[in-house]
Amino acid sequence: MSTSNVEDNIRPAPDQELIDIADYVSDYQVTSDEALDTARNCLMDSLACALMALQHPEATKNLGPVVPGTMVPNGARVPGTPFQLDPVKAAWDIGALVRWLDFNDTWLAAEWGHPSDNLGAILGLGDYLSRKAVAEGKTPLNMNDILHYMVKAHEIQGVLALDNSFNRVGLDHVLLVKVASAAVAAQMLGLDKDQIIDTLSHAWVDGQSLRTYRHSPNTGSRKSWAAGDASSRAVRLALMVEKGEMGLPSVLSAPAWGFYDVLFKGNKLSFQRPYGSYVMEQILFKISFPAEFHAQTAVECALLLHPEMKARIADISKIQLTTQESAIRIISKEGPLYNPADRDHCLQYMVAVALLHGELTAEHYEDSIAHDPRIDQLRELMQVEEDERYTKEYHDPEKRSIANAIQIFFKDGSTTQKIEIEYPIGHRRRRSEGIPVLEKKYHQALLSRFPKRKAQQIYDLCVDADKLTQTPVNEFMDLFM
């Protein structure tokens, strides 16, 4: 009998890539004090971003239960709101708030992303599980557990991103949020390794988000809730596997139908290093201003130049921006900018605002400021070029710089000094300088939502590592209601 039209239906062993993640999330013990302390700072930074986002109606319009008025027994809290939600929707809400202002942490490699996007899944599910445990007379999770889960989610997303560029095949980095959140959510639910593998397989087999909403001419607000959507989906998948949903063992490698052949141009995932705690230790914080991270040092350069040239705007003949290849590919834009999401992904817009105003805040992306004709006038004077050294050191695992430089030329032939900054204030190399600014960012965000005494209570708890780690998750989340 001919077998040319018959498929082999022998079910294979799971893809090794799934096994490695399951082994890591199940067995690895986080022992790095630096990673755990950085996770605590990341928690404060992420919650600061979420609380600041609540001031923007576009960020809040989709929050709350899908059916208005629904109350969920033992439901997870959404910080700064009155909502008590199931863990799937809570993950969506928390993740969307953390990400909305493009002000949370960043990871830059072959793929970029924001590993604190996973906090939606971790806090949403962690709060629900803690309230459920208390209701059943059991011990809830504490914030030390949350910090360990954060380190693992950061690591999974970041290590997958080191050598693998999903954006080059048109896929958005929130794919990695879904994968990392799925692995950690499965562990939080107490699933065994086989079930974690099954959960991961569903995260990979999902139709993945296109990067359309991050790029001209379609840049829009979906980029601000896409990560919350991914973390929410991860929680949903983990809960389904908990109930017995079967997995797909060769989801990556299956000929013709697997992720590699369908969505990754036949390539396999490449790995630069094993999973550990490297990513959290190296994470980049957006501390001083909400700007896409490839532009952070460019904005810092512009702020340094502001006092020198603020009275000479009309005399400028050219602004030379020197940057890395990734910035040119992602955020260098000409032409109209249609909304805040469009503007905070435009290198030239961010630099122009910083030169004009000597600051850059979320409000500077709104129409009231964007309609200032001087911004587009300055954008038209900008010339963007790559420095190959910047690009090389951007990818160097020992440096991970995000360098930019600016020099301004005037009509009379004079120029400013060329200002170059290689490492932003949120970089590991500038931690001692950056953490006090991060703590100030958090305190100010708390004051934007809570009375002074309550804001101080929350702040004091979070800067006291020993006290924070012993706090039950449900009690911690109650403070933000």
Phi, psi of 421 (to 5 degrees): -130, 125
Cis-peptide, bond into residue 217, ω within 30° of zero:
yes
Is the predicted pLDDT of residue 351 greater than 90, yes or no? yes
What global pTM score does this model have? 0.88
**123-150 average pLDDT score:** 98
Task: Over range 250-275, report the average pLDDT.
Answer: 97
* pLDDT above 70 as % of the chain: 99
**Closest to 163 measured CA to CA, from 32, 27, 264, 36:** 264
pLDDT computed for residue 3 by the predictor: 54
Cβ 344 vs Cβ 291: under 8 Å: yes
Q: What is the pLDDT of residue 400?
A: 86
Write down the mean pLDDT value for the chain: 95
pLDDT of residue 438: 97
Residue 345 neighbours by CB distance under 10 Å: 25
Average pLDDT over residues 278-303: 93
Split at pLDDT 50, 70, 90, the class of 1 is very low
Closest by CA position to 81, among listed 56, 104, 60, 102:
60
Mean pLDDT of 431-437: 95
Convert the pLDDT of each residue in 54-64 to its tens digit. 999 999 999 99
For 395-414, give one letter per residue: b (16+ CB within 10 A) or e. beeeebbbbbbbbbbeeeee
Query: What was the pLDDT predicted at 4?
Result: 62
> If pLDDT is split at 50, 70 and 90, which confidence band does 65 have?
very high
pLDDT in tens, 148-164: 999 999 999 999 999 99
Residue 2 has pLDDT above 70, yes or no: no
pLDDT of residue 9: 82
Residue 417 has pLDDT above 70, yes or no: yes
Copy the structure tokens of residue 167.
């954006």
216 vs 308 pLDDT, higher one:
308
Q: What is the pLDDT of residues 238-262, one digit of tens each?
A: 999 999 999 999 999 999 999 999 9
